[in-house]
Amino acid sequence: MERDYPLEKVRNFGIIAHIDAGKTTTSERVLYYTGMSHKIGEVHDGEATTDWMEQEKERGITITSAAITCFWNPTYAPDDKNKKYRFNIIDTPGHIDFTVEVKRSLRVLDGAVVVFDGVAGVEPQSETNWRYADEANVPRICFINKLDRTGASFEFSYKSILERLNKKAVRMQIPIGEEDKHEGVVDLLKMKAFYFEGAMGEKIVEAEIPAELMADAQKYHNELVERIVEHDDAQMSAYLEGVVPSVDELKATLRKAVILNAIFPVYAGSALHNKGVQLVLDGVVDYLPSPTDIPAARGLDENTGEEVERPADDKAPFSALAFKVAADPFVGKLIFFRVYSGTVEAGSYILNTRTGNKERIGRILRMHANEREDVKKVFAGEIAAAVGLKDTITSDTLCAEDSPVILDRMVFPEPVISLRIEPKTKADQEKMGMALNRLAEEDPTFKIVSDGETGDTVIYGMGELHLEIIVDRLKREFSVDANVGKPMVAYRETILGEATAENKYIKQSGGKGQYGHVRLRIKPMDMNVDPDDVPKNVKRYAHFEFVNSIKGGAIPNEFIPAVEKGIKEGMDRGVTAGFKMVNISAELYDGSYHDVDSSEIAFKLAASFAFQDAAKLARPVILEPMMKVEVFTPEKFMGDVSGNLSSKRGIIEGMEERGLTRVVKAIVPLSEMFGYVTSLRSMTEGRANFSMEFLRYDVVPANVAKEIAESRK
């Protein structure tokens, strides 16, 4: 079976934005204009195609990233079959609790359309998403949406992009009118006006630029041309001599600059009122990369340990990254994957390099939002979903058995909030364990822990809404009724000093005894070490480092892993208030053993007790999650808002104006932010709102730490 579409005509891109910027509405227009849906579903009606989960329809927000395949002919060549492009689009959530969906989607996409609210401009989650796109080195085009709303300002939003995101953004268009006078857009490259007529804006009318906009259009056209020719020496020389390159030449240079992240084109319009979306799709075709335009994927050869490249080539060995697991009600577990090199057929066996096991891909599906199409084979550069992979989780590399490779793993943030959950009946108990494990497979930021002392199940997530959705899904998708406790902060413990301790675990009970003797030295872990500089005797994890300094066989090698395991168990129990300990370097520097009585269990227990003794001497402290908070409020409430945040142990970082609204920026402990939405509304007559995202862990003040420790007894 041959490839049905040339790779250079494929665009893998995502639509990302702050919550309520109109991202899903934009996606619905894309589906409509590309012919994938025959009517436009609206978010506010609960009818959006890409929001297929019940919770998404009720709340009007996107929770999971939906993968969609569709086709597009640019508006300048609507009937040319040679100019038809395949789009693989991922519509991602904007709510901060589901930010992991954005991060993992960007990891496998080649480009992104970043949507902004034309009234608010750049918002906090826009900054987070932009940062993720920077980390993934993903080229972007910007779409300033909602220019028909009261208070909309293209210039304000454009300036906020320059000031808060990147100075390399440049206007591709300016709007014709704003608020209720928004009629269309001016294309600054072609120097033409475009209007959108028909019931759904499907009829695009090209016209001359209105006289009152001509001066601005000419000024911004010159600015755009200058920004483009800077990236081509020949065009720059010609331009300085008074020769302006043709539109096609400028587009070719602009494409190269966008792919290198040297320019970010900015478009204008209103998705809800069907203005401008088709021209953004033309921008995707013209400027965002195909899989052949981006550097080859890099990974480690599992046999040699050397770095290797996997180019977007059907003849190269197969390699793919699993970026999402979804529980599908019809086919079971779906694994979404991006093919970086080679091809794979339904029914074939692939190697999972994390588990080292072979797995069979039963079926391969191409997704059209919540509908699906069976395909026999997928090729390099494509995104698809597999059925039949039982042991595959997010971030696993799938590859050919005879050419094993490990692609870069994704790193996810630690959850910051927890909830105790217990099944209501015995029947619910059996179902709950299975259901929670299924949900944890889907979502790498959702964790389940059994409390060893009480036997309770504790679930961890990124925020109150995140856990609320999990509990809701338990009930609806898995028919599990559960009682839940109050949300709790996921505190951590660490040490600020160094200490040593030893422990001899000796037990004689007639017959064979137990003997384990360890000496440990612990200190805070240096978080800034280059992985290449880690010595061979050090095992390094995200929040723990184990140093084996045993010389001359004081402890035999077979007992060393048991010592490491014992230290980890000691860290899990904490020493101040029973919270998991993090960021610790533990060195095993001496000990002894007994020829007959020594065992793994004895060394594990000795290490665990020694670690606990040392930790108590090493200035242990409690850490708490600190949140970056932005409150949007009318000016008259600014004093009340900032005073209230200060009373919550918040640090006010600054205040700024955004149109008629004022923004208070602060860093506040998560423990102080429960129920904040209610108190903020009552404080501001319901006129203020806020956004919050995890920033870092900080040491809890001594008086607060004492209260936390007391509450745990």
pLDDT tens digits for 28-48? Answer: 777 778 775 443 334 434 444
Each residue's pLDDT tens digit, 439-472: 887 777 788 887 655 667 888 887 777 888 888 8
Q: What is the CATH number of the domain that holds 468?
A: 3.30.70.870
Q: How far is residue 184's CA from residue 479's CA, in Å, rounded to a whole number?
A: 49
In 85-146, beta strands by DSSP E? 85-91, 111-117, 140-145
Q: What is the pLDDT of residue 371?
A: 66
Q: What's residue 40's pLDDT?
A: 38
Q: Are residues 673 and 602 in the same domain?
A: no
For the stretch 115-143, pLDDT in tens is: 998 988 887 777 778 888 888 889 999 99
CB count in 10 Å sphere of residue 578: 15
Nearest Cα residue to 126 out of 42, 9, 12, 18: 18
Among the candidates 233, 261, 287, a domain finishes at 287
**704 is written with which tokens?**
């607060």
Binding residues for GTP: 17-24, 91-95, 145-148
Alpha-carbon dihedral sign for residues 457, 461, 466, 470: negative
Say if 412 falls within a structural domain.
no
- CA distance linking residue 565 with residue 555, whole number of Å: 15
Q: Answer yes or no: do 230 and 270 share one domain.
A: yes
Q: Could you say which DSSP state residue 104 is in?
A: H
> Does one domain contain both 690 and 570?
no
Tell whether 86 is covered by a domain: yes
End-to-end Cα separation, the chain, in angstroms: 66
Per-residue model confidence (pLDDT) at position 463: 78
Mean pLDDT lowest for which of 176-185, 239-248, 299-308, 351-360?
299-308
Q: What are phi and psi of 662, to 5 degrees?
A: -110, 145
- Asked, for residue 660, whether it belongs to a domain, the answer is yes
In a domain, 3, yes or no: no
**Token digits for 230?**
């800077």
Q: What does the alpha-carbon distance between residue 349 and residue 663 come to, in Å, rounded to a whole number?
A: 54
For 344-369, what is the mean pLDDT?
Answer: 86
Q: Are residues 207 and 64 in the same domain?
A: yes
Q: What is the pLDDT of residue 98?
A: 53
| Residue 211 banded pLDDT, cuts 50, 70, 90 | very high
Residue 523 and residue 462 share a domain: no
How many residues does this entry show for the chain?
713
Q: State the Cα–Cα distance between residues 519 and 397, nearest whole angstrom.
A: 39
State pLDDT tens for residues 59-93. Answer: 333 323 456 788 888 888 888 888 889 888 876 65
Domain that holds residue 371: 297-407
Q: How many CB atoms lie within 10 A of CB 507?
A: 13
Residues 74 and 215 in one domain: yes
- Write down the H helix ranges in 302-451: 426-442
* DSSP 8-state symbol, 7: G
* Last residue within a domain, chosen from 225, 258, 287: 287
pLDDT of residue 435: 85
Quick one: pLDDT at residue 34? 78
**Mean pLDDT score across all residues of the chain:** 85
- Report how far residue 531's alpha carbon sits from residue 579's, in angstroms, rounded to the nearest whole number: 28
264 plus 374 within the same structural domain: no
Q: What secondary structure does DSSP assign to 557-600, as a single string?
A: GGGHHHHHHHHHHHHHH-SSSSPPB-SEEEEEEEEE--TTTB-H
Statement to judge: residues 508 and 475 lie in one domain: no
For the segment 142-146, the average pLDDT, to the nearest whole number, is 93
Backbone torsions φ then ψ of 25, nearest 5 degrees: -60, -40
Domain check: are 582 and 482 in the same one? no
CATH number for the domain that contains residue 43: 3.40.50.300
pLDDT of residue 97: 46
Q: What is the pLDDT of residues 372-412, one digit of tens each?
A: 788 899 999 888 888 888 888 878 889 988 888 888 776 77
Q: Are 294 and 261 in contact (CB under 8 A)?
A: no
Are 548 and 588 contacting, i.e. CB atoms less than 8 angstroms apart? yes
Local confidence band at 99 (pLDDT 50, 70, 90 cut-offs): low
pLDDT confidence of residue 153: 92
CA distance 434 to 414: 22
Is the domain of 390 the same as that of 444? no
State the total domains in the chain. Answer: 5
Which CATH number belongs to the domain containing residue 318 in this structure?
2.40.30.10
- Within-domain flag for 1: no
Percent of residues, the chain, with pLDDT higher than 90: 39
Q: Is residue 193 part of a domain?
A: yes
- 292 part of a folded domain: no
**Pairing mode, if any, of strands 377-378 and 371-375?**
unpaired
Task: Give pTM, 2 decimals.
Answer: 0.71
Tell me the CA distances in angstroms from 630 to 162, 633, 692, one per residue in order.
Answer: 20, 10, 7
Annotated binding residues, written as ranges, equal 17-24, 91-95, 145-148
Among the candidates 234, 263, 287, a domain finishes at 287
481 part of a folded domain: yes
Residues 32, 72 within the same domain: yes
Q: What is the CATH number of the domain that holds 561?
A: 3.30.230.10
Using CA atoms, how far apart are residues 30 and 700, in angstroms rounded to an integer?
48
- Do 677 and 701 belong together in one domain? yes
